[in-house]
Structure 1
Amino acid sequence: MNYKRLETFIWVATLGSFRKAAEQMHTTQPAISARISGLESELGVKLFEREGGSSPIALTAKGKELLPYVEKILYQAEELRKRTDVATAYSGTLRLGVSETIANTWLPALLTRIHEDMPNLEVEMTVDVTTNLAVGVKERSLDLGLLLGPLSEPSVVNVELCHYPLSWVASPKLDLPDRLHYLEELANWPIITYARNTKPYTEINHRFRCLDGPPARFFASTSLAACRSLAIDAVGIATLPDIMIDVDIELGKLKKIKSIWSPSDLHFTASYSDDPINPFSEMTAKMAAEVAKEYADARA
């Protein structure tokens, strides 16, 4: 029995569309149709109702009956692959979404590990804010997201990676006194922070919005590297992950600002949809957790 036909059956059943299955499997819609037709001929049953138009493809009664058996076959085949040489077992393309905090810290170590352990695996990488990465994971345009999690979705697996505190920092050029500051004092400067459609920005904006006096000015950016540069250049006061600024603090390019309030820690997960089975993502998520721990231990 053709493995690719069985895999195609799972994807069409999951996504309810020949077109989406073709996008997921990096092939054409006619190829998907041919595989399903071939599987139906091989089994001697009709698996899908093809109503046409914009209506989703629906499983027939027999298709629903056979789906759990096909899922079990693919699961067992994947378990067999795991017990072989991992370097040759995993080939194809992993669509990886990455939060910029991770991209600026231990992502290079993870990519090196992927290359060493799975040399036949190609990686298509997207660096973006968690809001967009989460949509990609849920809609399966991304195989794996390293993001601010966890994601609340029944089919999504969340593997805990790391958590990083956020600190207020500024250039010594601003000459802020070394004492505890109220948020009203910080609001005298532009607040350099995460993009508007992120959890840290929402939390920070809410706190400053509750203050008396003129509203705070926000310089929001999707690039943490840009935020760091703006803070070093004394444009304003920034909130950044400690793990990104340790060296700048040591070199005197930035100094931490004591405040009565700081944003919540950043909690990251490796999140992926496991319906249907997603072996590349499962293996990479485990690697990411190991690399994140090694990175933290090395800096402890």
Structure 2
Amino acid sequence: MEAFIWICKLGTFRAAADHLSVTQPTISLRISELETALGISLFEKSGRGVTLSAEGALVRRYVEHGIGLLDQMDGMLHLEQPFDGLLRLGAIDALAMTCLPEVVGMLEASYPDLRVNLTIATSTDLVDLLDQKKLDIAFLGEPARKESCWFELIGSLETAWVGGVGKFDQKATIAPEDLYRERVLTLQSPSRLHQIIDDWFANEKAPSPTLSVCNDISLITRFVAKGLAVSVLPVCVVRQEIESGLIESYVPTLPLPALPLYVAGQPPARDARVVEAVRKMSDVIAAAGILA
């Protein structure tokens, strides 16, 4: 049934085999067995791919329902089992630089038999790793969604234009023309922070400057603190530098949107243990005071 559903979603036997990490002959054998059991043909050839037959379209509705019931059963059977083994946890830089240590500490205290492996990456890369089944859970910004994963919005991170102390002579507000002579440093596209900057200039009806890019928020923060660049960053990431007088935040002529923070995971169905662990992690993040 799983092979059948992924062929429906991806359009070819090869793509379904790659997604499930099996060979194409294995997928073909599974579909052949299913067709024999049902006494019908599920697919028709269409170019290089396949489309559902009329009977196959009907079967898909029942198979999706059946898989959903099996996932529910699995969740109930494992409800009382301990949360143990290896948890492959991903996060964006903004979380890694603020409260990720507290999240991991809570997990290890709550689940003594759980080991946590960490991956820090961009939201786009984290979603790809989830889709490839190389991560179990990830905290990320606004991503391109995948059918193989679940997503849950847990809050947002306030953003601000920031730069070195005295860079703009204590102006009340900053406008696009104030930034054209500055190095505007941000994460590479398609990051949400990069998009926030582009959108801000577009909303100001001003041409966007050529942006310098870096793949590390902590390094961007250092450039900003040294007065070598300005940037749009989550306030929680630079709060300590702002409070210590190393960095200033500026009031823009148009407000900046907050950066959404999601938790995501795979497979699409979650058992009760995962739901509880995600709730506990989200509570730690909320208690850290980083959410807008």
**TM-score, length-scaled by structure 2:** 0.73
Can you give the 5+ residue segments of structure 1 that lack an aligned partner in the other structure?
Answer: 1-5
Backbone CA RMSD of aligned residues: 4.4
Determine if the alignment matches structure 1 residue 128 to structure 2 residue 122. Answer: yes
SS of alignment partner, residue 46 of structure 1: coil
Deviations 1:30-70 (A, max 9, x none): 22122222223333433233x38x52222233322222222
Partner of 1:3: none
CA distance in 2, matches of 1:37, 1:265: 50
Determine if the alignment matches structure 1 residue 298 to structure 2 residue 288. Answer: yes
CA distance in 2, matches of 1:241, 1:61: 51
User: Deviation of residue 188 (structure 1)?
Assistant: 3.7
CA distance in 2, matches of 1:215, 1:155: 36
Partner of 2:214: 221
Partner of 2:9: 14
Relative to structure 1, the CA distance from residue 298 to residue 109 in structure 2 (aligned partners, 3 Å threshold; closer, same or farther) is closer
Partner of 1:72: 65
SS of alignment partner, residue 299 of structure 1: coil
CA distance in 2, matches of 1:232, 1:144: 33
CA distance in 1, matches of 2:18, 2:40: 26
Determine if the alignment matches structure 1 residue 244 to structure 2 residue 237. Answer: yes
User: Deviation of residue 225 (structure 1)?
Assistant: 2.2
1:191 to 172, 177, 184: 184
Determine if the alignment matches structure 1 residue 56 to structure 2 residue 56. Answer: no
Deviations 1:218-262 (A, max 9, x none): 323333222112112221222210111122223443232344344
CA distance in 1, matches of 2:26, 2:78: 30
Paired residue total? 285
2:258 to 265, 270, 279: 265
Relative to structure 1, the CA distance from residue 219 to residue 110 in structure 2 (aligned partners, 3 Å threshold; closer, same or farther) is same
Relative to structure 1, the CA distance from residue 162 to residue 45 in structure 2 (aligned partners, 3 Å threshold; closer, same or farther) is same
Identity of aligned residues (%): 22
User: Residues 270 and 285 of structure 1 are in contact (CA less than 8 Å); yes or no, is this contact kept in structure 2?
Assistant: no
SS of alignment partner, residue 45 of structure 1: coil
Structure 2 counterpart of 1:7, which letter? E
Partner of 2:248: 255
**TM-score, length-scaled by structure 1:** 0.71
Deviations 1:2-56 (A, max 9, x none): xxxx22222222222211111221222122122222223333433233x38x522
User: Residues 194 and 221 of structure 1 are in contact (CA less than 8 Å); yes or no, is this contact kept in structure 2?
Assistant: yes
Relative to structure 1, the CA distance from residue 294 to residue 200 in structure 2 (aligned partners, 3 Å threshold; closer, same or farther) is same
SS of alignment partner, residue 83 of structure 1: helix
Query: 78-87 vs 18-27, which deviates more?
Result: 78-87
Partner of 1:34: 29
Relative to structure 1, the CA distance from residue 125 to residue 71 in structure 2 (aligned partners, 3 Å threshold; closer, same or farther) is farther
Can you give the 5+ residue segments of structure 2 that lack an aligned partner in the other structure?
Answer: none
User: Deviation of residue 152 (structure 1)?
Assistant: 8.1
User: Residues 8 and 21 of structure 1 are in contact (CA less than 8 Å); yes or no, is this contact kept in structure 2?
Assistant: yes
User: Residues 98 and 146 of structure 1 are in contact (CA less than 8 Å); yes or no, is this contact kept in structure 2?
Assistant: yes
Partner of 2:41: 46
Partner of 2:172: 180
Partner of 2:158: 165
